[in-house]
């Protein structure tokens, strides 16, 4: 089955990228202290934190960063504390080691921080997110959660029925010209500008999210993801019935007409300009179809306190992963002049899979977006939804006896090319 090959490729792709992911120890040790000015217990701890701050400022300036976060009057600090499942007074080191109130003494805190400095891992008495791996040593799963989420969501987003519809039809029409260089040129430009458009779109979404409290935007994004996921799941069972995230037939025919005009254009600058215009136009049409995954990802990314450049790097990596399958498709068409099709049934299976992922991740954003910090969460969701998609597809096809259905290329290509 083609779907099995798509799923196998996705799994292999994720495993290969994970296999080359290195764990790099951060130079800085971040100590967050949550307290309230009106809290009696906090008043006893504040002098201890001040003494520790002075001690490490003198001996480890720039390496140990101690941040006092007042939660009584600062809503952002309060929301951050709740999201981390903490109370006050409490301390968390490098977003992994939680020091409860009963251990907030000068001796206990300096001992734990010193262990970080000399890279001793026996601080795991309080650790929730560090595991010891053979030959590697202690690994902070929280530090890996964003790279893993980037790989998983970027990979899933790239297997998008709308994106596949466009690239398959465009390349299928170009095949008639029997020109490898034109397939590579037009396909490459289309993929590049599609990725560029997506990059700036995600930056705009991130900027908007950062202006709103993360808990509020997390719930909003979660609700949108659940709705889009439910619509995608609906499209598997009731294809072309009721509301849908898929492009309408009218929009598809407009895109097809632009493609047909493009391949008949013998003027090279006209081909380049037309391809860029087509890429932007198509991505505008695709926004509803592909909104869910980038919205979930950017919402999770906004919850991190990162330097601005790091946000751009993560979004860039997401978009590189997003375009890799499209690049592979362009190269396959170019070197084989093939006629691979994305059938209606395969498109519905992709809808079911992406819908399940969006629905489950939307629920997580609504309930507690910090669950996505766990290294295993995106991987477990992906594996679970792969299994569910294959099982449901098998049962549905066996008992409903649905035909494969013509591909979108075959349906639209009945028109004169």
Where does the pLDDT of residue 248 fall: very low under 50, low under 70, confident under 90, or very high at 90 and above?
A: low
- Could you report the per-residue pLDDT of 185-208, keeping only the tens digit for each? 777 888 888 888 889 888 888 887
Q: What six digits make up the tokens of 33?
A: 């202290």
CA distance 21 to 81: 30
- For residue 401, how far is the Cα from the chain centroid? 35
Q: With CA atoms as reference, report the closest residue to 168 among 347, 370, 375, 359.
A: 347
pLDDT of residue 124: 38
pTM of the model: 0.50
- Could you report the per-residue pLDDT of 90-129, keeping only the tens digit for each? 888 877 777 777 778 888 788 877 777 766 434 433 444 4
- Where is pLDDT greater, at 398 or 170? 398
**Which segment, 47-51, 118-122, 216-220, 242-246, is predicted with the most confidence on average?**
47-51
The answer for residues whose C-beta is within 8 angstroms of residue 71's C-beta and 6 or more apart is: 34, 35, 36, 77, 78, 81, 88
- Could you report the per-residue pLDDT of 283-314, keeping only the tens digit for each? 666 665 666 778 778 877 877 767 788 888 99
Where does the pLDDT of residue 173 fall: very low under 50, low under 70, confident under 90, or very high at 90 and above?
A: low
The residue extents of the domains of the chain are 2-20+143-412, 29-135
Q: With CA atoms as reference, report the closest residue to 302 among 206, 211, 215, 394.
A: 206
- Could you report the per-residue pLDDT of 267-280, keeping only the tens digit for each? 566 667 767 777 77
Residue range 338-355: mean pLDDT, rounded: 65
CA distance 182 to 171: 10
pLDDT of residue 295: 78
The answer on pLDDT for 67 being more than 70 is yes
- Could you report the per-residue pLDDT of 132-142, keeping only the tens digit for each? 444 445 555 45
DSSP states along 354-366? HHHHHHHHHHHHH
CA distance 170 to 289: 18
Beta bridge partners of 65: 30
DSSP 8-state class, residue 370? G
pLDDT of residue 359: 79
3.10.580.10, 3.40.30.10, 3.40.50.300, 3.40.190.10: which CATH number matches 29-135?
A: 3.40.30.10
Indicate the SS3 state at residue 71: coil
Indicate the SS3 state at residue 375: coil
Give the lowest-confidence range in 17-21, 84-88, 96-100, 355-359.
17-21
Residue range 44-53: mean pLDDT, rounded: 83
Contacts 24+ apart (CB under 8 A), 284-290: 285/162, 285/247, 285/251, 285/255, 286/160, 286/162, 286/163, 286/166, 286/247, 287/201, 288/228, 288/245, 289/160, 289/161, 289/162, 289/245, 289/246, 289/247, 290/157, 290/160, 290/162, 290/163
Cβ(395)–Cβ(349) under 8 Å?
no
pLDDT of residue 185: 79
Cβ(33)–Cβ(91) under 8 Å?
yes
| HSE-CB for 372 with a 13 A CA cutoff | 30
CA distance 144 to 148: 6
Q: What six digits make up the tokens of 392?
A: 């449901």
The answer on pLDDT for 21 being more than 60 is no
DSSP 8-state class, residue 371? G
pLDDT of residue 316: 92
Where does the pLDDT of residue 258 fall: very low under 50, low under 70, confident under 90, or very high at 90 and above?
A: low
DSSP states along 254-322? HHHHHHHHHHT---HHHHHHHHHHHHHHHHHHHHHHH-HHHHHHHHHHHTS---HHHHHHHHHHHHHHH
């Amino acid at each position: 089955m083609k779907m099995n090959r798509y799923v196998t490729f996705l799994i292999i792709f994720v495993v290969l990228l994970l296999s080359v992911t290195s764990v790099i120890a951060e130079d800085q040790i971040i100590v967050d202290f949550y307290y309230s000015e009106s809290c009696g217990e906090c008043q006893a701890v504040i002098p201890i934190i001040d003494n520790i701050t002075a001690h490490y400022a003198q001996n480890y300036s720039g390496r140990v960063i101690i941040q006092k976060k007042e939660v009584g009057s600062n809503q952002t600090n309060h929301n951050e504390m709740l999201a981390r499942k903490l109370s006050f007074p409490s301390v968390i080191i490098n977003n992994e080691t939680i020091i409860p109130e009963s251990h907030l003494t000068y001796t206990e805190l300096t001992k734990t921080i010193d262990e970080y400095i000399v890279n001793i891992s026996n601080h795991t008495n309080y650790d929730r997110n560090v595991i010891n791996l053979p030959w590697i040593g202690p690994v902070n799963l929280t530090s890996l959660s964003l790279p893993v989420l980037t790989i998983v969501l970027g990979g899933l987003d790239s297997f998008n029925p709308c994106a596949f519809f466009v690239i398959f039809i465009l390349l299928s029409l170009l095949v008639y010209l029997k020109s490898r260089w034109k397939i590579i040129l037009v396909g490459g430009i289309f993929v590049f500008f599609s990725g560029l458009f997506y990059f700036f779109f995600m930056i705009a979404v991130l900027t908007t999210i950062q202006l709103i409290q993360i808990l509020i935007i997390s719930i909003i994004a979660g609700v949108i993801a659940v709705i889009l996921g439910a619509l995608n799941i609906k499209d598997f069972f009731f294809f072309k019935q009721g509301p849908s995230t898929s492009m309408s037939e009218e929009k598809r025919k407009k895109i097809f007409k632009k493609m047909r005009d493009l391949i008949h254009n013998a003027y090279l600058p006209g081909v380049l300009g037309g391809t860029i215009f087509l890429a932007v136009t198509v991505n505008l049409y695709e926004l509803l179809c592909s909104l869910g995954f980038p919205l979930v990802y950017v919402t999770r990314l906004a919850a991190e306190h990162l330097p601005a450049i790091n946000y751009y790097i993560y979004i860039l990596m997401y978009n590189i992963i997003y375009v890799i399958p499209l690049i592979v498709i362009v190269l396959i068409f170019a070197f084989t002049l093939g006629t691979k099709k994305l059938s209606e049934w395969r498109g519905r299976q992709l809808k079911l899979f992406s819908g399940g992922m969006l629905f489950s991740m939307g629920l997580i954003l609504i309930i507690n977006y910090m669950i996505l910090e766990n290294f295993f969460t995106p991987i477990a969701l992906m594996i679970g939804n792969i299994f569910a998609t294959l099982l449901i597809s098998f049962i549905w096809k066996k008992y409903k006896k649905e035909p494969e259905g013509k591909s979108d290329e075959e349906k639209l290509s009945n028109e004169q090319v």
